[in-house]
Structure 1
Amino acid sequence: MRLLMLGGTEFAGRAITEDALARGWEVTVFHRGRHDPPTGAVSLHGDRAEPGGLKALGEGEWDAAVDTWSGAPSAVRDAARLLADRVGRHVYISSRSVYPFPTAPGLGEDAPVVDGSADAGEVEYPQAKRGGELAATGAFGDRALLARVGLIIGRYENIGRLPWWLTRMARGGKVLAPGPRNHGLQYVDVRDLAAWTLDAIEQGLGGPYNLAGPVDHTTMGEFLQACADVTGNKAELVWADPESILAAGIEPWMDLPVWLQPGEVYDTMMRADVTRALDSGLRSRPIQDTVADTWEWLRSIGGQAPHRPDRPKLGLDPEKEREFLAHTESGEVAEPRRNSAS
């Protein structure tokens, strides 16, 4: 198979590129040259946000193209139109954000989506991803596959979610653990995302797929316990209820990455119907595997994860965490139990 990766040097794009190379595919990576692609890939340089930035894609044929772009939809449109007659299938890595908020739990791919335009410039993230979908389908029709991904975690993460938790656990001491500890955590390991994407290309799949593991695949407790275990059991998890966390001005998802309190946001992000993806072959490895692999990668690069400059820094301020734990009255936080997720 000949694969063209539009952005294959970071996070999801890099994982897809590495998996394709491991399968013996011929991989061409179109990128801006800020990071080297995996060894074995052919590089084409260009900045699609600049006039003439797609010049390097003027020639060549591929069996499939994968586009991870999350900026202006017009950039997806221009690339897709340029490639439509020379590429067999198109995969656009989209997002569950294309569904309007709030989304009722259990809705599938036929749920309503936000308005978007393939011709749009810089717009808000949901509209950008929906516009990207329309750009892909406008050029490729039923040869376009839309991967509506939810929470992605794993090696190469440049957002700061799982790496922040691993770094925090490695620092040790009392760690604020946001409850409920038995709350399901719906996510996809970036390696499982990559494997499914390439399998889907081989199967000739098209249309939208909600791409994440089952709702009950793991829990917040199991996730944090895995982070504590793999970093050497230096952390003492102190579980707190959502109400006390929110009352202290601690923000879900931003201060405490991955975590969402029960309610509309949680239902929208963590309770998608992913039956279609599972039936098509999506496999979800254990959370312990995801955490251990990410920690191994993090240590291999010196412990400091890369960070996308267009995304905010995540993570709870250490002083704010200490203050919360020190001033929480008995009953608002469960009795601390060293490394216990039960």
Structure 2
Amino acid sequence: MELFDTSKSILQEIRLDPGKFRNVRLLVKRDDLIHPEVSGNKWRKLKYNIELAEYQKKDGILTFGGAYSNHLLAVAAACVSAGLKSIGVVRGEELNSESNENLKRCSELGMELKFVSRESYDERNEKSCQEGWKEAHPHFLLVPEGGANYYGMVGCQEIWKELSEKVDHVFVAQGTTTTSCGLLIGSAENTVLHVVPALKGFDSEAEMRKQLFPFLIDEETIDDYMRRVEVHPEAHFGGYGKWTPDLLDFISSCKNAYDLPLDKIYTGKAFHALMEWLKQQDFNIPQTILFIHTGGLKNGGV
């Protein structure tokens, strides 16, 4: 299926000043280029969920998201391409399909939008709530918000198959931890994974351990993997969905200097954390740093 073709995800090299950044080679995996509406980690996390829905002969996918959710848009677009239907449960009963361009586009793509109260939405992961949606829509595969499940992790793990480079450090923005967990499992044992949470006060380690358990099962193995994780918890610029003029200036400078578009919700903050970290390093031997561009430009672009 053309939807799951990764050939457009190039590896872009960022030319840094060698006088300021000694022994550093910086590469960007441009997953944002995969598809205009199913870009970045959304594509990765949906691939095997789509295949599972097809294998189980489901009519489509039912999933969850906010009013400006890139995930909802990605599911709507991916399902159309796969010949599947889609249902989006949206946070905010006061909304409708005309409330913003994102919801309007989801509706245009054929997604059936169901608007629920914030209280009901907060219970979306409760067992009783999940069973209720499954009972109401038995012919739809239930996919968590953001594609945060086992199949999402497997899809993200495949990024490494497309890389021939030896990577010493990899940076990635973190939301549900699905992408970062997939990257961690697929990485070489000497690679350090740097995660940059978009949420203020987010317990990255606890959430990653929860996601990793179905993969690794025993705590000792999880401990071994987690020793290679470095969290950058103070790079959120005020919290999820918040930003500052300094961040917007940084994003603009990256576009001008490196021809690298970033969004203000996830990738802009993560790339800023990477550059700040690099300023503090003085490598004695050459290091290859990889930044995973997880998309998000559709609703978070500057």
- The TM-score, its normalising length taken from structure 1, stands at 0.32
- The TM-score, its normalising length taken from structure 2, stands at 0.35
Task: Point out the structure with max Rg over C-alpha.
Answer: 1
